[in-house]
Amino acid sequence: MNILKTISNTTLITVSIFALTLAYTSCKKKVVTPPNPNEEELITTILLHFTDSAGVQPSVTSIYKDVDGDGGNNPSQWDTIKLKANTTYYAEILLLDDSKSPADTISNEVLEEAKDHLFCFTPSNVNVSVKRTDLDINNLEIGLQSKWYTGAVATGTMQVVLRHQPDIKTGACALGSSDVDLTFQCKVE
């Protein structure tokens, strides 16, 4: 039983040394406040602004807004795009970070990096065709500004996608990854 005695003696020494070291180091513990995700830059809002090229129909603004970013609460606003039939609209897209005050305009950054970005529009069951009207330094379309041609009355959807195509932009939508991908309800009245 010599062994047990030795073990118990050593255990005692071990435990006390340990307790001392732990006590010493735990005193120095500092707690750092993590960065508030609300202060991080986010794309919270997309704003589509339409003006009739003929100046007859009233202007339309459709908004998607999710201030708390990914997950959490559902989007607080997600408008249906309501356009008049047989009209040509000038469309302008604004991307905002509404979690900040004042809101940060992310679309300015898209414009700065226009050669790496492309908006793509895919209508479904509605008679709307979209033509991008702005160009980047390589003479490729961007899509922050566009012309929307509406046809007959119909109800369907319009998918708005912002593709991020670093150094690989060719004008095709398939390349790259999506920074924005939203399917709006769309009504041509």
Partner 1 sequence: MKKLFALAAMLTFALFAYSQQENCRATLHLKIVDAASGLGIEDVTAYLPQQQKGNHSNQMGELDITELCTGDYLLICKHLNHEERKEVIQIREGKNVKTVYMTCHTDTLHGITIKGARLHWEATQVIHKIQDKDLFVSQGLSLGKALEKVNGVYNLSTGNHISKPIIRGLHSNRVLILNNEIRQEGQQWGNEHAPEIDQFIAKSIEVVKGAQTIKHGSDVIGGVVLVQPKPLQQIQGIEAEVNTGIMSNGRASASSLLVEGRRQEWKGLAWRLQGTFKKAGNAKTSDYFLKNTGMQEMNYSAAVGYQKKGFNIELFHSFFNTDIAIFAGSHIGNLSDLYQAFNAERPLDSSGFTYKIDLPYQRVLHRLSKVSASWQADDFGTLKFIYAYQNNIRKEFDRNIVALQPDGSYKPSLHFELNTQHFHLSFEPKPEKKMVGEIGMDGMIQSNEYYGSYFIPNFQKSTVGGYLTEKWHHHAFSLEVGLRYDLNHFEIQKWENNQLIDRRHQYSGMAASAALRYQFPFITLHLNGGSTWRAPFVNELYSYGVHHSAASFEIGDSTVVPERSYNASLTMDFNYQNNIEGEVTLYNNYIKNFINMTPVLPATLTIRGAFPTFQFMQTDVNMFGMEFSVTKALYATLHAHLKGNLLLARDIKRGAYLFGMPPARFETDLDYTLFKKDQNNVHFVMNASYTFKQFLVPTAADYVPAPPAYFLLQSELLADWRFAKQTVRMNLGVSNILNTRYRDYLNRNRYFANESGRNIYIRISIPITISKQTKISNN
Enumerate binding residues for partner 1 (CB under 8 A). Answer: 2-3, 6-7, 10-11, 14-15, 17-18, 21-22, 25-26, 29-38, 40-44, 46, 64, 66, 69-71, 74-75, 97, 106, 109-110, 113, 117, 164, 166, 168, 174-182
SS3 59: coil
Would you give the distance in Å from CA 12 to the centre of its chain?
Answer: 59
Q: Which is nearer to partner 1, 109 or 134 (CB)?
A: 109
Instruction: Tell me the closest approach of the beta carbon of residue 34 to partner 1, in angstroms.
Output: 4
Nearer to partner 1, 184 or 188 (CB): 184
Minimum CB distance to partner 1 smaller for 117 or for 132? 117
Q: Which is nearer to partner 1, 78 or 149 (CB)?
A: 78
CB of 144 to partner 1, least distance (A): 13
Structure tokens at 45: 């809002």
Q: What are phi and psi of 28, to 5 degrees?
A: -85, 0
- Report the alpha-carbon distance of residue 97 to residue 123 in Å, rounded: 26
Least distance (Å) from partner 1 to the CB of residue 176?
7
Spatial distance between the Cα atoms of 150 and 128, rounded to a whole number of angstroms: 4
Residue 172 CB, shortest distance to partner 1, in Å, is 9
Q: Which of 80, 100, 72 is nearest to 182 (CA)?
A: 80
Helix (H, G, I), strand (E, B) or coil at 19: helix
